Amino acid sequence: MKIYTKTGDKGETSLYTGQRVQKSDPIIDAIGTVDECNSAVGLSISLLPSSPQCQIHRKHLETVQHALFDIGAALATPRTRAPTSKIDRTRFDHHATEMLEKWIDAMEAELPPLKTFILPGGHPSGSALHLARSICRRAERLVLPINLHEDVSDHVLIYLNRLSDYLFVMSRYINHIANCPETLWEHNKKSEE
């Protein structure tokens, strides 16, 4: 199978239902942003320290990548237009969110408490996780109207909300174990030059 199909040359693509929509459709915008988040997570994985301590977190992040593909499939199957058989094949449930919460709690138990905002940065993997977090927040904003039209399960929106929390804590955790201090936000900071 060739990578190019030429079916999108006029600015349209297909949903899982088979329906053709414009590539500017809000559903496609949301799917694209979820994919962008997934790519940023992949970047963070490639930058993880090679220490044994990071191996479990590599597996967790790969699990997140799989969940983001599942979310893309759920978004590509609008519940108000898809047959039940297709909705059942792309169902996204609460178990993935519960897993994120468990991972967040475990990492937070090892982190110093946060008393102020921090600037995104630190270890290259931690920085990439901050980027993934901000893209995830955008994906959440784009999924909200789709959710309000009942075209996607509440579990998708909840997962994206929790994922941004997980990515934030994970970036802090990577910076912590890599010994990269966090830069605290200073209100109205002036240049020292």
The structure's pTM equals 0.89
**pLDDT tens digit string along 22-58?**
777 899 999 999 999 999 999 999 999 888 889 999 9
CATH number of 23-183: 1.20.1200.10
Q: What is the largest CA-CA distance in the chain?
A: 64
Average pLDDT, the chain: 89
Say which residues have a Cβ less than 8 Å from residue 73's Cβ, sequence separation at least 6.
16, 89, 90
CA-closest candidate to residue 176, choices 101, 126, 105, 128: 126
**pLDDT tens digit string along 124-152?**
999 999 999 999 999 999 999 998 888 88
* All structural domains of the chain with their residue ranges: 23-183
Lowest mean pLDDT among 50-54, 100-104, 119-123, 186-190: 186-190
pLDDT at 104 over 90: yes
